[in-house]
Structure 1
């Protein structure tokens, strides 16, 4: 367990204790803050676990990891280019009377 996961575990335990204290005292604000801290710790642990899995798979097969990274980069670039492009406005052609458009 690396330090990031251990820190997430500590945050989760602190959140559980804060939630229990808020429930005991009837303070809903403290209880909500405890739940938020607990969920933040769980999310931090999940992030650390995911990072460890990705690191291990990258070491096992670096070319596959490179292919996945290239594919994701291409997809993100396509989405970004689509989001940042301005649509062309098509104005209707007006009849000038001399049959030229």
Structure 2
């Protein structure tokens, strides 16, 4: 299953690369920096979507393992916040 974050991330990455390239051709360093930042944000969004797909697949294939991992993470997070 393809997550919308992966699609949007890929689109943002392409737009950022085009913006970076156009800024380089025009000598506009501000546009280049914005393009690089947009491309990096797109990569991050795509990686987030891929991680979500992996978690969904794990939960579907091995629900008991997913439940165990969620329980342990919940316990750790609860212990961290209880100490504050």
1:2 and 2:31 are equivalent in the alignment: no
Structure with larger RCO (C-alpha < 8 A, sep 6+): 2
Equivalent residue number for residue 34 of structure 2: 33
Larger Rg: 1
Unaligned runs of 5+ in 2: none
Equivalent residue number for residue 16 of structure 1: 17
d(CA) in 1 for partners of 2:30, 2:44:
21
d(CA) in 1 for partners of 2:78, 2:53:
26
Structure richer in helix, relative to its length: 2
Equivalent residue number for residue 43 of structure 1: 44
Equivalent residue number for residue 81 of structure 1: 82
Q: Size of the alignment, in residue pairs?
A: 83
Equivalent residue number for residue 56 of structure 2: 55
Q: CA deviation at 1:22?
A: 1.0
d(CA) in 1 for partners of 2:65, 2:57:
12
Normalising by structure 2, what TM-score?
0.93
Q: Deviations over 1:13-47 (max 9, x none)?
A: 00000000111111111111000000011011101
